[in-house]
Structure 1
Amino acid sequence: MSLLVCESFLSIQGESSFAGRPCAFVRLTGCNLRCRWCDTTYAQEGGGTARSLDDVVAEVRASGLRLAEITGGEPLLQAETPELAARLAGLGLTVLVETNGSLDISVLPPEAVAIVDMKGPSSGEAERMDLANLARLRARDEVKFVLAGRADYQHMRELLPRIDTARNTVNVSPLFGALAPAELAAWMLADRLDARLNLQLHKLIWPPDARGV
């Protein structure tokens, strides 16, 4: 069994409730969406290296870190992703799978934590979301909304009633360079939003267009 890997690297987790923790990342090649503000267009198609599951698992294990993330692109496009998540979890690691919200997350093993990135209108891909994923969330899964402005915020507000926010963390991120964090914070406070402000730490620590971080 093999995977098409765009890159693998060690970094500080920048998003979700796991933000701030050292993490081993495996970024897979291929994506079925073309978001207007995508910051990993290099992973959308082409390129990448075919690697065996054994090789990828061995690399993550050798990192010595206890947190791993499988991302993309869109990792659920590759049939071997659930097996990779299961094998990494079998090592005793916490395994995050960041997915773009358009594909069924129920294929993931229960040991994995799905981070479901629900796209808003500014992305151009909001209509491609599989909203049934909000009903498929397991106890540890999280949802992420990246917001470029008020229209994205209102779209998120419309979806929040479908999420058990007492069980599933909702991460709300201002699109870097498009929405001021203070403005988003003010909206959240005014609405008493049951969600977590997420500032994409990796873009604050390193240049926002840096790869491998």
Structure 2
Amino acid sequence: MILTVNEIFYSIQGESVYAGLPCVFVRLTGCNLRCHYCDTRYAFDEGNAMSVAQIVDQVATFGCRLVEITGGEPLFQDHTPALVDALLGSGYQLLMETNGSLDIDRVDRRCSRIMDIKCPSSGAHMKNDDANLQRLTVHDQVKFVIGDRDDFLFATELLPRLAAILPADRILFSAVSDRLPPDQLAAWMLDGRIEARLQLQLHRLIWPDQERGV
């Protein structure tokens, strides 16, 4: 089975509840959305064909048990579930970041799905698959990328539904870089008594001038 891979690299987890831990990233090519704030546009089309076995072999060279499949949008490719199965079968702790517009249950639930719920400023919020809320498990995570007050209110309106599924520390609020200062988002969360985790892009703080491989 062949996938198109944009890059495979070893770095620090910059987001999610695993932030700060070493992690191997498998960035797959292609995405079905075009969010206004996207910082990985290079992954829309650039990539090389690799078999599932080749990907697993390259991941193994880093000697790290935490692996994240990202993109682009991983579920945009038909053989991503096979890659998930192969990595789980090799004993990795596996994460997958997904934009929330496609069925997350296409992949094994032992993989922690880090699911975006697109807010209005993304320009893609009408593409959210509402059925994915019923597919979430306590093993998963949800992320809101917030660019303004309207996005914040959009996210908080969904919190009661998410709180019935996920603990507060697996619901992530992240500010759009260069659009919303994180201290403003923090103030809104504190003022609103929001039960969620404020998330900063740790890798962007460590390597502010690098776009790839971090």
Asked if TM exceeds 0.5, the reply is yes
| CA distance in structure 2 between the aligned counterparts of 1:165 and 1:185, rounded to whole angstroms | 21
Aligned twin of 1:65: 64
Q: TM-score, normalised by structure 1?
A: 0.96
Aligned twin of 1:21: 21
Aligned twin of 1:55: 54
Q: How does 1:195-210 map to 2 (within 5 A)?
A: 195-207=196-208, 210=211
Higher mean displacement: 32-41 or 162-171: 162-171
1:143–1:169 contact (8 Å) kept in structure 2:
yes
Unaligned runs of 5+ in 2: none
CA-CA distance at 1:165 after TM superposition? 3.4
Equivalent position amino acid for 2:42 in 1: Y
Compared with structure 1, are the counterparts of its residues 123 and 209 closer, same or farther at alpha carbon in structure 2 (3 Å cutoff)? farther
Q: What SS does the corresponding residue of 1:63 show, helix, strand or coil? A: coil
Equivalent position amino acid for 2:212 in 1: R
Compared with structure 1, are the counterparts of its residues 153 and 208 closer, same or farther at alpha carbon in structure 2 (3 Å cutoff)? farther
Deviations, residues 9-54 of structure 1 (Å, cap 9, x unaligned): 111011110110111000000000000110001111x221000100
Q: How does 1:21-100 map to 2 (within 5 A)?
A: 21-44=21-44, 46-100=45-99
| CA distance in structure 2 between the aligned counterparts of 1:22 and 1:142, rounded to whole angstroms | 19
Q: Aligned Cα RMSD in Å? A: 1.3
| CA distance in structure 2 between the aligned counterparts of 1:148 and 1:38, rounded to whole angstroms | 12
CA-CA distance at 1:117 after TM superposition? 0.9
| CA distance in structure 2 between the aligned counterparts of 1:141 and 1:168, rounded to whole angstroms | 11
CA-CA distance at 1:66 after TM superposition? 1.2
Equivalent position amino acid for 1:176 in 2: S
Deviations, residues 139-192 of structure 1 (Å, cap 9, x unaligned): 200001111111110110121122123277101111111111111111111111
Unaligned runs of 5+ in 1: none
CA-CA distance at 1:209 after TM superposition? 5.1
Matched, 1:118 2:117: yes
| CA distance in structure 2 between the aligned counterparts of 1:209 and 1:38, rounded to whole angstroms | 15
Deviations, residues 103-146 of structure 1 (Å, cap 9, x unaligned): 00011112201000111111100001101111110120000111
Q: How does 1:132-151 map to 2 (within 5 A)?
A: 132-151=131-150
1:165–1:194 contact (8 Å) kept in structure 2:
no
Q: How does 1:157-176 map to 2 (within 5 A)?
A: 157-163=156-162, 164-166=165-167, 169-176=170-177
Counting aligned pairs with the same residue, the percent is 53
1:86–1:111 contact (8 Å) kept in structure 2:
no
Aligned length: 212
Q: TM-score, normalised by structure 2?
A: 0.95
| CA distance in structure 2 between the aligned counterparts of 1:113 and 1:172, rounded to whole angstroms | 18
Q: What SS does the corresponding residue of 2:94 show, helix, strand or coil? A: strand
- Displaced runs of 4+ in structure 1, greater than 4 A? none
Aligned twin of 1:10: 10
